């Protein structure tokens, strides 16, 4: 029950009759023949019938935003006819969030169900281009194999040209505009200029972009029809949904459950300890719920919103009583700060400030640090080039509401008395190409005996370094991600006092332990050796 990275294809559990995961009990991956044997052929629909079907089953995007699918289809169709151009269909299978695996499971094990929905939409809109965005290797291989099984390629002259785009496994890769930018040959980060994909998407064409589960749900609904689709799930949100359970459970898993099922039933089925502190719903852009609220909530978009949470991308993370909830939140907040695209002020400066202020609260810095958290969160809302700052602020602020007793203990007392166990999953540290025998992730570290507080490092890599009130640097409790390594190396080279350096993860851990012993009065801390060349 630790924060190890989730497997790419975790176990799958079904609550009730399976729909999206039908056939998983008999096959690891449903190839074209097996898929047709399980699901049958997809029907052909007109644009009007498809939109009425999507409205009838209340189909919304399953990637987090929850936008009505029928409205997207209509908007793309109208824009394409008005401009007399062919639209594009894009499947967003980019799960950069460490706590989500539902789309990886669909693309890895039932890729044809996702393609059925996307090709159905492409047919009714007259689209001739299909793009599938992925971030993980097995999903890419599975989709490429599925396209080959259908005879779909990116060659000219085909009725539908289909291709797969592999993006870096980062949180911002799943943002719609980042995927479109990468699919067009640019960097996988959101652009500064906002444009509606339904009007001006990939290559400037009207683009229907939706999540992998959304297209799979469309394929199921097209086969079942409105009435049969609504025979399971909540009346206002019929059908099933996919959840990724991790954190305080024995094994991470993906669950297909009818909408409206009690959250407590899902947690018990997955083996969560009944003595929970709270549950994070919606992932790292979601919100914390205290244990009583979470157990009393139903798993649906409306029910979770009423309880103060969000369904988001379907990640559910129970938190056991053995770890500090604010420490866990601060650990993820540092990761969120390092995951930003680094191209707008709220991300590059605001998110590190938010994470650092929360770390100060955990360290017992008092009411001033708590007010700094709230001030930093207020400065993030609605000001970013994408929704990353908003989601990160919601995540942090929800912890202050859900864990009030722990918050009071840290702000007014000596802390909650529990360490941070690292229960919430984060990606495995990226290996940075060290010499043979010395591989491993690296952290920024500072020799306090040399540091003169010039502050140059905080300007070069604010995602990992911020200046304290005394002008000395405070380092984020996270390894250096690959996309920040160049700037971290530059900060090391340019440090005027030669105090900043990169330490291997194991060395950094040893040095922190030495500093703790020295602070506790141990006169003989072990000597350490710095790594990395200047």
Burial of 77 (0-12, 13-18, 19+ CB in 10 A): buried
Name the token pair of 358.
């929360």
Segment 66-72 mean pLDDT: 92
Query: 36-49: string of b/e by CB count within 10 Å (b at 16+)?
Result: eebbeebeebebee
Distance CA 224, CA 218 (A): 10
Q: What is the pLDDT of residue 531?
A: 40
How far is 235 from 298, CA to CA, in rounded Å? Answer: 13
In the prediction, which pLDDT does 394 show? 94
pTM, full prediction: 0.86
pLDDT class of 458 with cuts at 50, 70, 90? confident
Distance CA 318, CA 244 (A): 11
pLDDT in tens, 318-338: 999 999 999 999 999 999 998
Portion of the chain with pLDDT greater than 70, in percent: 91
Provide the pLDDT confidence category of residue 525 given band limits of 50, 70 and 90. very low
Q: Confidence band (pLDDT; 50, 70, 90) for 454? A: confident
Residue 187 has pLDDT above 60, yes or no: yes
> Residue 133: pLDDT band by 50, 70, 90 thresholds?
very high
Q: Averaged over 309-313, what is the pLDDT?
A: 92
Of 284 and 515, the one with more pLDDT: 284
User: Quick check: 513 pLDDT over 60?
Assistant: no
């Amino acid at each position: 029950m630790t924060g190890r990275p989730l497997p790419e294809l975790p176990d799958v559990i079904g609550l009730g009759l399976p729909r999206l995961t039908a056939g998983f009990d008999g096959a690891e991956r449903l190839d074209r023949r097996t898929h047709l044997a399980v699901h049958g052929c997809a029907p052909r629909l007109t644009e009007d019938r498809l939109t009425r079907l999507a409205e009838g089953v209340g189909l919304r995007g399953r990637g987090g935003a929850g936008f009505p699918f029928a409205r997207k289809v209509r908007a793309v169709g109208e824009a394409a006819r008005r401009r007399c151009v062919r639209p594009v269909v894009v499947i967003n299978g980019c799960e950069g969030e460490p706590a989500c695996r539902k789309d990886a499971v669909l693309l890895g094990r039932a890729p044809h169900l996702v393609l059925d929905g996307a090709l159905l939409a492409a047919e009714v809109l007259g689209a001739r281009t299909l793009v599938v965005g992925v971030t993980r290797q097995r999903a890419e291989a599975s989709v490429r194999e599925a396209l080959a099984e259908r005879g779909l390629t990116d060659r000219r002259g085909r009725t539908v040209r289909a291709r797969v785009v592999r993006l870096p496994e980062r949180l911002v890769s799943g943002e719609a505009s980042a995927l479109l930018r990468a699919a067009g040959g640019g960097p996988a980060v959101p652009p500064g200029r906002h444009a509606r994909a339904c009007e001006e998407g990939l290559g400037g064409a009207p683009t229907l972009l939706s999540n992998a589960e959304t297209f799979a749900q469309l394929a199921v609904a097209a086969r079942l029809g409105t009435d049969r689709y609504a025979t399971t799930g909540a009346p206002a949100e019929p059908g099933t949904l996919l959840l990724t359970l991790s954190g305080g459970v024995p094994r991470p898993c993906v669950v297909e459950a009818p909408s409206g099922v009690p959250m407590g039933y899902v947690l018990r089925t997955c083996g969560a300890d009944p003595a929970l502190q709270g549950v994070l719903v919606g992932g790292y852009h979601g919100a914390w719920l205290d244990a009583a609220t979470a157990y009393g909530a139903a798993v649906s978009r409306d029910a979770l919103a009423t309880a103060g949470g969000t369904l988001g991308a379907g990640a559910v993370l129970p938190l056991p009583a053995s770890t500090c909830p604010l420490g866990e939140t601060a650990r993820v907040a540092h990761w969120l700060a390092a995951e930003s695209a680094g191209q707008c002020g709220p991300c590059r400066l605001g998110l590190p400030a938010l994470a650092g202020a929360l770390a100060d609260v955990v360290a017992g810095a008092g009411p001033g640090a708590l007010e700094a958290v709230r001030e930093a969160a207020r400065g993030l809302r609605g000001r970013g080039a994408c929704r990353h700052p908003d989601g990160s602020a919601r995540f942090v602020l929800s912890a202050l509401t859900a864990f009030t007793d722990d918050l009071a203990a840290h702000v007014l007392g000596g802390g909650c008395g529990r360490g941070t166990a690292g229960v919430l999953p984060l990606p495995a540290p990226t290996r940075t190409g060290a010499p043979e025998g010395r591989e491993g992730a690296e952290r920024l570290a500072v020799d306090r005996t040399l540091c003169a507080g010039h502050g140059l490092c905080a300007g070069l890599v604010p995602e990992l370094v911020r200046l304290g009130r005394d002008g000395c640097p405070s380092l984020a409790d996270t390894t250096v991600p690959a996309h920040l390594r160049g700037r971290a190396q530059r900060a090391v080279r340019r440090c005027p006092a030669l105090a900043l350096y990169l330490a291997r993860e194991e060395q950094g851990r040893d040095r922190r332990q030495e500093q703790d012993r020295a602070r506790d009065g141990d006169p003989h801390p072990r000597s350490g050796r710095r790594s990395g060349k200047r």
